[in-house]
Structure 1
Amino acid sequence: MKYDVDTDDAFDTEIREAHYLPLGCSIAHLAERIRDATTSDGGSDLLTELTASHDGVLIALGWVLAANAAFHQDLGQPPDPHTAKRLQYLAEHRLAVLWSDLAHIRNDLADRHQRRACTAEVGPEERETSAVCACPPTPPRLTTSPVAVPAAPAPAHPRR
């Protein structure tokens, strides 16, 4: 059975809304929502979508890098193990730094909506620990040990 539907010309188009947006569009939309956020609470909620440890964007990117590393490990060409190690390094070390920094920013932003103006001055050598005071805290010193980047493999045969 077939039905004919009469519509106004303004609604009669060939344009169809996408039902499944590519991941890049979703991330771009997240960026737009962060730019449009009007409260620190809203901004921290949006950063949570990046940093959530169970389904955040960065954890998913880590899974992609790890899967890509496993894929390269089994390809069998001389540069493939190096590529696999490099991808694993990016997932385990570089992405972890990015995740950690963004999680700290997100947590600081989430705390802001609960803070009030502080009446006491805090010196540059002091760290403000009050959760209800808006005095800027002295940033903690990050101690990280350098991680060696895997060396590039030697060519299988010299080029001429």
Structure 2
Amino acid sequence: MALADRSLVLGRDVHSGEVLARGGDPEAHSILQRTAFVPVVRLHETYHRLPIGLDEAEEKRLATRAVARLRAVNYTVDTDADFDTTTREPHYLPLGAQVAHLAERIREATTSDEVADVLTELTASHDGVLIALGEVLAATAAFCQDLGQPADPHTAKRLQYLAEHRLGVLWSDLAHTRNDLADRHQDHPQRRACTTEVGPGEREASAVCACPPPPPRLFTSPVGVPTAPAPAHPRR
């Protein structure tokens, strides 16, 4: 990762008076958003601002907290004196990181049963991730319905549509895939469990296990989950 991606500038804009944050990588952007900042996407850049309508004391509190959170995970933050702080907030993995870890389990899976177990967490009919997401959409739609602005009923209807139709298609396809894999009991032909052992005819002390390389990632998760270091390869 480029060093510039670990640096941000957070301060009050001299022209607009807004508190803005520029720079950083997706993890930094997530931290900003979890500290109330709003992303602004322009043609050549994306930056973040605090919500409109805050008083100066609240702006200072949120900006200072963002600096504390960013520096706690080793970002370099160039900030105004008003927002500077020596405080470091503990950083916990967000809920999204737990869901992203399911993808890591699928990448490491060697059998259809293992993948079916992971997909069950997404598709379980009572408390799966997608069912819970549908409840979030429905609850947000109900909140927006009577909020009072002219566009609010349209927003509510759109969210309800997503919950009932688009999310339902996603759930149906994944559930079908999960059920099909659960019935197969099949080893993946190009994957196998790593024994950390070298081949039986290998005599070189520096040899490593003969497992094939891991499959490439088709998508990059916005949040990574730390993994334990690989065990040392025993010599035979």
TM-score tier, shorter chain, comes to: 0.5 to 0.7
User: Does 1 or 2 have the higher relative contact order (CA < 8 Å, sep 6+)?
Assistant: 1
* Alignment RMSD (CA, Å): 1.9
Amino acid at match of 1:82: H
Equivalent residues in 2 for 1:137-152, closer than 5 Å: none
1:40 corresponds to: 112
Cα distance per residue 1:8-46 (max 9 Å; x no partner): xxxxxx99xx79631110111111111111110010010
Flag the 1:56–1:19 CA change in 2: closer, same or farther, 3 A: farther
Equivalent residues in 2 for 1:14-93, closer than 5 Å: 21-93=93-165
**Seq. identity, %:** 83
Q: Distance in 2 between matches of 1:105 and 1:63?
A: 23
Amino acid at match of 1:79: A
The aligned length equals 99
Q: Distance in 2 between matches of 1:74 and 1:36?
A: 46
Cα distance per residue 1:95-152 (max 9 Å; x no partner): 01100000000011111117xxxxxxxxxxxxxxxxxxxxxxxxxxxxxxxxxxxxxx
Gaps of 5+ in 1: 1-13, 115-160
Q: Which of 1 and 2 has greater Rg? A: 1
Aligned to 1:83, the other structure's residue is in SS state helix
Q: Distance in 1 between matches of 2:98 and 2:134?
A: 17
Q: Distance in 2 between matches of 1:63 and 1:88?
A: 10
Per the normalisation by structure 1, the TM-score is 0.58
Q: Distance in 2 between matches of 1:67 and 1:20?
A: 26
User: How far is 1:54 from its partner?
Assistant: 1.1
Q: Distance in 1 between matches of 2:91 and 2:112?
A: 31
Amino acid at match of 1:45: D
Amino acid at match of 1:38: T
Q: Distance in 1 between matches of 2:156 and 2:185?
A: 43
Gaps of 5+ in 2: 1-71, 74-89, 187-236
